[in-house]
Chain A
């Protein structure tokens, strides 16, 4: 079956702009979670959506937001971009949720902020 699909794979933005990233989970998975990966901070959990509800969130400012649609596809939005937002953004889908089950990751969206 198809894996987790993230779009776009690469994008370049300038400071102050906003960006929306998309994640299509594995069919049947109700949980989608998002992560930021940078050389300095490593992998950090952003938030998880389960059946369209935000179930948990990490320690990121309100500029980072997300949502999940009825078909389980999820979007993540970052507003007022800063240079430090440059990162690989990974999403993962799960049948049971982040805390109890196996995570299937997409290949990520690499964001560069100039």
Chain B
């Protein structure tokens, strides 16, 4: 079985302070992991992806995530939040086996940035 759990449904931070969005996964196979962001009334945009290369992945807009196999986690961080970071963030897991694959979305974390 495969699943993705985003541990916080809502995160509120002050502008200029760090952001941490937590994601845990379970998978029977080696996963690929992604973080996507969705601004209001928009589609999703890829922030970063992990595909079994370096465990610390850098993405766009100053975001990065660390893959920790022992903790089955892929938490997203940013050192200093900006007002434009207010959006919903999704952790996504895919696994492939033979000629099939499985794709799972987390429930999403809404980020609010206070001025």
Chain A residues close to B by CB (< 8 Å): 4, 42-45, 56, 58, 90, 92, 98-100, 102-108
Contacts and interface: CB of A to CB of B under 8 A. Distances in A.
Given A99-B96, A99-B103, 11 more contacts: A42-B106, A42-B107, A42-B108, A43-B90, A45-B105, A90-B43, A102-B49, A103-B36, A104-B46, A105-B36, A105-B45
Query: For the complex, would chain B's binding face be called helix, strand, loop or mixed by DSSP majority?
Result: strand
The 7 closest A-B pairs by CB, nearest first: A105-B43, A99-B101, A43-B105, A105-B44, A99-B94, A45-B103, A107-B43
Contacts of A105: 36, 43-45
Nearest to A98: B103
Contact of A56 (B32, B100, B107): B100
Nearest to A91: B43
Contacts of A104: 46
Contact of B42 (A42, A92, A99, A107): A107
Contacts of A45: 103, 105
Contacts of A103: 36, 44, 46
A90 B44 contact: yes
B52 to A, nearest CB: 12
B41 interface: yes
A100 B96 contact: yes
User: Which of B44, B100, B105 has the most A CB atoms < 10 Å from its CB?
Assistant: B44
A8 to B, nearest CB: 14
A62 to B, nearest CB: 20
Contacts of B41: 107
